[in-house]
Structure 1
Amino acid sequence: MTLLALILALLLEHVRALPGRWRVLAPLGRVAEGIARRLDDGSRASGRLAWLLLAGLGTLGTAVAYWLAWELHPVFAFACNIGALYLCMGFRHESHHFTEIHLALRMGELERARTLLAAWRGGRYDEASPSEIARLSIEQALVAAHRNVFGVVFWFSILPGPSGAVLYRLARYLHDEWGARSTGGEPGAGDFGRFAQRAFEALDWVPVRITATVYAVMGNFEDGVYCWRSQAVLWSDKSSAILIASGGGALGVRLGMPVHESGVIVDRPEMGLGSEAGVDHLQSTVGLLWRALLVCLFLLVLLGAAGWVGR
């Protein structure tokens, strides 16, 4: 039932992608802001309490709702799984940006590609070259695929019902919202967001390494593992670095490196290995991500079969 729910949620999202910020993130943001306003005193303890109230109670509430749905009828529990996955994933929204950038570069519409990249990542890329746009798009896709699909699926498979998917999605949101305040040096932020940052890193430690391994296996394994081991330590965001280094090595493309962003040149270490990023590498990235998704589904089939045999 886990595999079927995942497939149906992916198909539903592909047919009708959810406008996440309007339907999910905006209400969640209001709740998170309200909790932070009441509890934030700049300490790590207040951040821990706020995280437990939102992520902990949200996960527990999802588990209880799933149990009640199961008690009513397994069909309701199945629908609960599909609905939660549909709300927690969202790769179709990310892939739309990637596809449009790919098409713009293929057609030689550099200004449109820059505008699309800015809408996707934030910032400005008025002076970015086609290679820089391709690099940044591949990096964003490698990370987004993990955080919107593979990480969600991992925790969906671990905890009962959809509670794991909800836990991962809430933890990621609080990492991006509360954790960014502390790491980004926002005035008066203090250590409130430190726990949210550490909690997501802990939850993502195993899934991100599984995804990086799948990227390597589905591409050039030796180069993927070599880049992962030798280059991931060079970036402050270790999770993203592992995915980008492994994916770049698997694809045989150089990522990272300095880029023009928001009017300045951002100096970044080189990631990956091989030739300079171009339009063809965008197509190769699509193939890598689809193969990784098929591996993910195959592993779920094996887990399901093992559970059935063990009964």
Structure 2
Amino acid sequence: MTLFSLILALLLEQFRSLPSTGFFASTLRRVAESGARRFNDGTAASGRFAWLLVVVPATVAAAFGFWLLWEMHPALAFLFNVAVLYLCMGFRQDSRAFTEIHLALRMGELDRARQLLGAWRGADHSEAQAGEVARLAIERALVSSHRTIFGVVFWFVVLPGPSGALMYRLARQLAEVWGGRHDAEGAAFGRFARRAFEAIEWLPTRITATVFSVVGNFEDAVYCWRSQAVLWPERSSAILIASGGGAMGVRLGMPVHESGSIVDRPEMGLGDEAGVDHMQSTVGLIWRAFLVCLFLLVLLAAAGWVGR
């Protein structure tokens, strides 16, 4: 059931993806913002309590709902799996944005590519050069592919029913909304959400990076992972970007124009300057990684290690 639920959810997501501002995404954001307003008293303890209050009951409820539906009829549990997985993914939206940027650069429409990148990343890149646009888009695609596919799938397989997928999606949302604040009061409140997501991400991130390495240049990917990831401020993103850049033989990171200034960033990856051709290589890397993961799930299902 796990494997077939995953395949059907992925097919639905590819043919009819949910908008990033749709009902489910908006509901998650409202829950996060409401929780911050109600519980944020400027302390880390309040952030920990609020996180547990949001994530734990939802995860348990999803597991219990799956068990209850399974007892009623396995087909209902299967549909529940598919529905929750479908809601918790969302890579199609990011892949569409990546494709539009790729086409704009391919057609020489740099201004349009800058606008699309700014809308996707939520920042002003009106002064970015073509190489910078390609670099930033590749970085975003590598991280997004993990957080909207591989990370969700990992926890879906590990925990009963769709509870793992929902837990991962909620933890990611809270880390973005609560952990992304930089004011003193908000930073203290969001500290636990950020650290909790880092803990949840620890193993899935390294599995994804390992798969990137296997389907690309293994030696360079591992070298970049080991030597460069420590230089990036956000560790899970650093591992994905460094291993992906090394696997493809492209240099990522480095200073970029953003919001009217130059943001200094360490170099990640090895090889050539990022360009349009490397954007196509990124698509190939992600698809190869996905097929490898799917093949592993098939083997696990055949061995009986992936059950209902």
Tell me the TM-score normalized by structure 1. Answer: 0.96
Paired residues of 2:43 and 2:185 also in contact (CA < 8 A): no
Distance 1:189 1:236 in 2: 19
The DSSP-based 3-state class of the residue aligned with 1:189 is helix
Distance 1:126 1:59 in 2: 41
- Of the three residues 195, 204, 211, the one matched with 1:198 is 195
Distance 1:309 1:204 in 2: 21
Q: Superposition RMSD on alpha carbons, in Å?
A: 1.3
Deviations 1:231-276 (A, max 9, x none): 0000110100000000000000000001111110111110000001
Distance 2:28 2:207 in 1: 29
- 1:281 equivalenced with 2:278 (yes/no): yes
Q: Output aligned runs, 1:82-101, within 5 Å.
A: 82-101=82-101
Partner of 2:110: 110
The DSSP-based 3-state class of the residue aligned with 1:45 is helix
Alpha-carbon deviation of 1:68? 1.2
Distance 1:129 1:290 in 2: 27
Partner of 1:189: 186
**1:309–1:121 CA distance, 2 compared to 1 (3 A):** closer
Partner of 1:32: 32
The DSSP-based 3-state class of the residue aligned with 1:307 is coil
Partner of 1:178: 178
Distance 1:86 1:251 in 2: 29
Deviations 1:8-44 (A, max 9, x none): 1111011111113221121122222222222211111
Distance 2:128 2:31 in 1: 37
Which runs of 5 or more residues in structure 1 are unaligned?
none
Partner of 1:266: 263
Paired residues of 2:41 and 2:185 also in contact (CA < 8 A): no
Which runs of 5 or more residues in structure 2 are unaligned?
none
- What fraction of aligned residue pairs are identical, expressed as a percent? 68
**1:150–1:308 CA distance, 2 compared to 1 (3 A):** closer
Distance 1:190 1:250 in 2: 35
Distance 1:35 1:239 in 2: 25
Q: Output aligned runs, 1:1-311, within 5 Å.
A: 1-181=1-181, 185-307=182-304
Distance 2:194 2:271 in 1: 33
The DSSP-based 3-state class of the residue aligned with 1:126 is coil
**1:18–1:190 CA distance, 2 compared to 1 (3 A):** closer
Distance 1:295 1:232 in 2: 24
Tell me the TM-score normalized by structure 2. Answer: 0.97
Distance 1:237 1:44 in 2: 20
The DSSP-based 3-state class of the residue aligned with 1:194 is helix
Comparing 72-81 and 298-307, the one that deviates more: 298-307
**1:309–1:292 CA distance, 2 compared to 1 (3 A):** closer
- Letter of the aligned partner of 2:106 in structure 1? R
